[in-house]
Amino acid sequence: MSDRKPYKSDLSDERWALIEPVISAWKADHPSPTGHQGRYEMREIVNAILYQGRTGCQWDYLPHDLPPKSAVYYYFAAWRDDVTDVKINDLLRWQVREKAGRSEDPSLVVIDTQSVHAAVNVPATTTGKDAAKKVAGRKRGVAVDVLGLVIAVTVLAASDHDNAFGTALLGQVAPIDSIKKALVDQGFKKTVVEYGAMVGIDVEIVERNPADKGTGFVPQAKRWIVEQTLGILMLFRRLVRDYESRPKSSESRVRWAMIDVIARRLTGQTTPTWRG
């Protein structure tokens, strides 16, 4: 670890110890042809990714005492493309579940979507308008367990119907044998239920209680947890608006945000709010 003044987003020794084995294994599997070990510590690369996720700064505005854009983006893109970010998220998720006395993978997932505006640099070909929420940009869909931990994530244009997200997310979680049921809201239709039946997952569309109409937001049993997770993601300014050129980068940002959240949960360290 460098002797620079730490940022609030920096990994503590305890949180780095949770992530380091995966990163070190990756580094060992990707040796430089020249034998050079690289100029920057892997911990500092991860610190830079987390800093950008929390602050939302542009690549060129990374602080000078963190590794430069060229190095940080190289690893961010590499770990996105070879799903190293998925491996880290899954490893930490399993540990949280074990700590809670649960099996490694869940039997039930809760699925929902969140529309966010897109920045001006985002290609128009990957954006659209969510007519219901009047949001022009992208929509992220997540499947979480009952602890609010992200099992799967997909990002598409905001104009895409929730059915597209439902089938994509069910396709991602279907290989997990333990998952037998999924809860979705009324935005998802029969298409998702039928696709779930094809992949062996019982999809239940949770109807709102008519008596709740006009009373504002009323949490629904079990389904509220996905709303909480989507709210937690808003602590990460890089996710408040979609800045990524590629939807796959947007998905990776969600995973890195959850890696930060889960690592803090495992070590009993809190996630600072914007005002904190």
pLDDT of residue 214: 56
> Is 90 exceeded by the pLDDT of residue 34?
no
Domain ranges of the chain: 105-245
Task: Specify the pTM.
Answer: 0.92
pLDDT of residue 107: 97
- Rounded to whole angstroms, the Cα distance separating 195 from 225 reads 23
pLDDT of residue 43: 97
pLDDT of residue 37: 67
Q: In this structure, is the dihedral angle defined by the CA atoms of residues 135, 165, 81 and 226, taken in order, positive or negative?
A: positive
Q: Which long-range contacts (CB under 8 A, 24 or more apart) does 218-223 make?
A: 220/185, 222/108, 222/110, 222/146, 222/183, 223/110, 223/112, 223/183, 223/185
| 2: confidence class by pLDDT, cuts 50, 70, 90 | low
- What torsion, rounded to 10 degrees, do the Cα atoms 174, 159, 229, 13 define? 90
For residue range 91-104, list pLDDT tens digits in order: 999 999 999 999 99
Average pLDDT, the chain: 92
- Rounded to whole angstroms, the Cα distance separating 6 from 22 reads 23
- Rounded to whole angstroms, the Cα distance separating 121 from 119 reads 6
Average pLDDT rounded to a whole number, residues 191-195: 95
pLDDT of residue 210: 55
pLDDT of residue 187: 86
> What are 207's two structure tokens?
């109807």
Q: Is 11 helix (H, G, I), strand (E, B) or coil?
A: coil
Average pLDDT rounded to a whole number, residues 182-211: 89
Q: Ranked by mean pLDDT, which of 37-51, 76-90, 128-142, 207-221 comes out on top?
A: 76-90
Average pLDDT rounded to a whole number, residues 72-89: 98
pLDDT of residue 90: 98
- Rounded to whole angstroms, the Cα distance separating 67 from 143 reads 33
CATH superfamily of 105-245: Ribonuclease H-like superfamily/Ribonuclease H (3.30.420.10)
For residue range 175-184, list pLDDT tens digits in order: 999 999 999 9
For residue range 144-153, list pLDDT tens digits in order: 999 999 999 9
The fraction of the chain above a pLDDT of 90, given in percent, is: 82
> Is 60 exceeded by the pLDDT of residue 274?
no
How deeply is 99 buried, as exposed, middle or buried, from its count of CB atoms within 10 A (0-12, 13-18, 19+)? exposed
Question: When comparing pLDDT for 140 and 207, which is higher?
Answer: 140
